[in-house]
Amino acid sequence: MSNINENKHIAVFSLPFSSHPLPLLNLTIKLAHQLPNCYFSFIGTAKNNQTLFSKTKTPINIKHYNVNHGIPENHQLLHGSELNLYLQTGQENFQKGIDLAVLETKTPITCIIADAFVTPTFDLAKTLNVPWIPVWIPMSCSLSVHFHGKEIRQHCTVNDGNKTLDFLPGLSVLRVEDLPHDPLMTDTEKETALTKALASLSTILPQAKAVIVSFFEELDLPLFVQDIRSKLQLMLYVPLFNLKPKTQVNDEIDESGCISFLEVQKAKSLKVVYIGFGNTVIEPPKHEIVAIAEALEESGYPFIWSLKENLRSHLPNGFLERTKTRSKVLSWVPQGRILGHGCVGAFVSQGGCNSMLEGMSNGVPVICRPYFADQGINARLAVDVWEVGVIIEGKVFSKNGLLKGLNLLLVEEEGKRFKENALKMKKIIEEANGPKGLATKDFKKLVELVSSS
Could you give the residue numbers annotated as active site?
Answer: 20, 115
In sequence order, the 6+-apart residues with CB closer than 8 A to the CB of 451 are 4, 5, 8, 35, 38
* Contact predicate 104/80, CB 8 Å: no
Phi first, then psi: give them for residue 40, nearest 5 degrees. -125, 120
- State the alpha helices, DSSP H only, in 205-285: 222-229, 258-267
What CA–CA distance (Å, rounded) separates 382 from 378? 6
Closest by CA position to 176, among listed 194, 193, 157, 154: 157
DSSP 303-354: EEEE--GGGGGGSPTTHHHHHGGGEEEES---HHHHHTSTTEEEEEE---HH
* Contact predicate 359/366, CB 8 Å: yes
What Å distances lie between residue 276 and 156, 234, 369, CA to CA?
32, 34, 11
Side chain identity at residue 172, one-letter code: S
Q: How far is CA 244 from the centre of its chain?
A: 13
Answer left, alpha or beta for residue 305, where phi above 0 means left and psi between -120 and 50 means alpha: beta
> How many Cα atoms within 13 Å fall on the side-chain side of residue 420?
5
* Contact predicate 276/335, CB 8 Å: yes
What CA–CA distance (Å, rounded) separates 378 from 139? 7
The H or E element that residue 213 is part of is strand 211-213
What CA–CA distance (Å, rounded) separates 294 from 183? 36
What CA–CA distance (Å, rounded) separates 290 from 314? 7
What CA–CA distance (Å, rounded) separates 249 from 77? 32
Q: 190: which DSSP letter? A: P
- Strand order of the sheet with strand 9-13? 62-67, 39-45, 9-13, 111-115, 132-136, 211-213, 235-237
* Contact predicate 368/389, CB 8 Å: yes
